[in-house]
Amino acid sequence: KALASIESIERITGVQINTALQKAEIYRMMGDYKQGISYLEKFKRNDDQNIVRELISLYYLDKNYTKVKELSSSYLATFTRDKEVIRYLALAEEKLMNYANALSAMRELIAIEDNLDNEKESFWQDEINTPKTKNAIVVFKIAFMVEFGL
């Protein structure tokens, strides 16, 4: 029903970036990542940050890590150092077994998060289940794999 509603809106107003993102989100919720990708690829030429971020996410869910790496690298060269995009890049590099690149991306992500968290007085005030701690664990895992050639 939601897809039909958006299609009705698109017939009246034309396709807008907002409705395109909403439609892609519906495909994501349905688990139909390929359909969401196919739909959003039509809008990629607009160089809209939100479209590219959503495509990166959908490609990751679809396990197309090469495309995640390609789009993430392009995004980071064109737009801001978005921490979600850096995270996707690091995860894709890990899945592609490019551990040194994954480690580099995770280090950048931790540095960005450190800057955002610098108002905290001590590590012990943080909860164990923070993105920063999770990223540190991923960095340790990748560094271990690089060190021991796994």
Contacts of 56 (CB under 8 A, 6+ apart): 68, 71, 72, 75, 85, 88
pTM (whole model) above 0.75: no
21, amino acid identity: L
Taking 50 as the threshold, does the pLDDT of residue 109 lie above it?
yes
Cα torsion angle, 42, 45, 48, 53, sign: positive
Q: pLDDT digit string (tens) for 14-61?
A: 667 777 888 888 888 889 999 999 989 987 765 789 999 999 999 999
Task: Give dist(CA 146, CA 56) in Å, integer.
Answer: 26
